Amino acid sequence: MQLSDKHKLKAAITGVGGYLPDDILTNSDLEKMVDTSDEWIVTRTGIRERRLLKIANKGTSYLCVKAIEDLLSKTDTDPLTIDAVILATVTPDFQVSPTSSVIISEIGAHNAFGFDLSAACSGFLYALSTATSYVSSGRYQKVIVVGGDMMSSLVDYTDRTTCILFGDGAGAVLIEPSQNGFGFEDEYCRSDGYNQMLLGVKAGGSLYPTSIETVKNKWHKLYQDGPTVYKRAVSEMYNATFEILKRNGLDADTIDFFLAHQANKRIIDSTANRIGIDSVKVLLNIDRYGNTTCATIPLLLYDYENQFKIGSKMIITAFGGGFTWGSAYLTWAY
Ligand code: COA
């Protein structure tokens, strides 16, 4: 049965919160740790510094709770009214028990359920897809999507090809039924598992459980084939965004803001160039935070929230390990 447009619910982002830990790791700090230079890092990636969570016995849940507390306070939301919390992350506090449960208890959302969603750097996009479907189905009214990662827990700080790229942080959004017709409009998401070994963490899962050998081999640290990932990221973010624009009757000029996963400034610029999006519409914070994996897009929303107007047209696009990728079209609701 098709619902008439009159009865269709649209889900919208109705608030944004964020959190970055205080400790800063600059390029000059990295120069003392590995054979690299500020000039190489800035020209190849656009990154100048990143934040690291260095508080003892704190993990990803800590970053996410801080971001959600900010969101709840800014939107004056009672945590008891929250129906669900979806956490996008690649660095859960533990295996098996979901970090979203810890978050739900810590924020006092005692009427909510939640789960962790794992889709590498596309995690926030996929979680947004899930949450907006929950709300537009009419089943739930208030869903929090939080993207948070403590990448410093996976990074090998002796490997110059990866340690310069990543940082820690979290961003959260509230999803509710739209009151004015603006909100989540469309999405195009895809996955492809043929290239799993190009980006990821080899051990600690069911294929290579933790052993003395896996630890000795550093198989619990992040690795990637940077140049191959780079090329695929540009082409898939371009393809997904092209599809979204085409099927919504949009062209690059009609888009107000372009929010791409912050993995490398050159990837973002190349993708935006191929689509034809003016550089003033391309939102960036990679220079200050590096790649925070599932947190990059909500942290863009957090940093640029004041520039958005009701009805602003925006594209969100991401690409990550797996591979996973996609693009979403939103109209800003507040
Ligand atoms: N400092 C100085 N030199 C470095 C370096 C560093 N931190 N890291 C690598 N290099 C060297 C390499 O060893 C290589 O040297 P060689 O020519 O003597 O062999 C040279 O710089 C070029 O390396 P290359 O890997 O080709 O550089 P690049 O321009 O592709 O940049 C990345 C490397 C990782 C920054 C880039 O490939 C990238 O961003 N990839 C995708 C990242 C991504 O999207 N990841 C996640 C998706 S979520």
DSSP 286-303: HHHH-B-GGGHHHHHHHH
Is 291 among the residues known to form the active site? yes
The interaxial angle of helices 38-45 and 265-275, nearest 10 deg, is 20
For 274-313, the pLDDT digits (tens) are 999 999 999 999 999 999 999 999 999 999 999 999 999 9
For 130-182, the pLDDT digits (tens) are 999 999 999 999 999 999 999 999 999 999 999 999 999 999 999 999 999 99
Ligand 1: residues with CB < 6 A are 36, 40, 44-45, 121, 160-161, 164, 199, 224, 226-227, 229-230, 233, 263-264, 267, 319-320
Q: Which two tokens stand for residue 310?
A: 């009701």
pLDDT at 1 exceeding the cut of 50: no
Considering the chain, what is the average pLDDT of its residues? 96
pLDDT at 7 exceeding the cut of 90: no
Q: Cα(286)–Cα(14) distance, rounded to whole angstroms? A: 24
Residue 280: name the closest of 258, 306, 248, 296 by CA. 258
* pTM (two decimals): 0.96
What one-character DSSP code corresponds to residue 3? P
pLDDT at 8 exceeding the cut of 90: no
Give the Cβ contact number of residue 161 at 10 Å: 13
Please answer whether residues 117 and 125 qualify as being in contact, where contact means their C-beta atoms are separated by less than 8 angstroms: no
* Range 243-255 average pLDDT: 97
Contacts 24+ apart (CB under 8 A), 192-196: 192/322, 192/323, 193/322, 193/323, 195/228, 195/232, 195/323, 196/321, 196/322
| pLDDT at res. 196 | 81
For 100-111, the pLDDT digits (tens) are 999 999 999 999
Is 285 among the residues known to form the active site? no
Q: Cα(120)–Cα(322) distance, rounded to whole angstroms? A: 7
Confidence of residue 222 (pLDDT cuts 50, 70, 90): very high
Q: Cα(159)–Cα(319) distance, rounded to whole angstroms? A: 22
Q: Which atom of ligand 1 is nearest to the CA of 230?
A: 41
Please answer whether residues 287 and 321 qualify as being in contact, where contact means their C-beta atoms are separated by less than 8 angstroms: no
Which residue lies with its CA nearest to atom 48 of ligand 1? 320
Determine the distance from the C-alpha atom of residue 43 to the mean position of all C-alpha atoms in its chain, rounded to a whole number.
23
Residue to mutate (ligand 1; options 31, 157, 230; most atoms within 8 A of CB) = 230
Q: Which atom of ligand 1 is nearest to the CA of 318?
A: 48
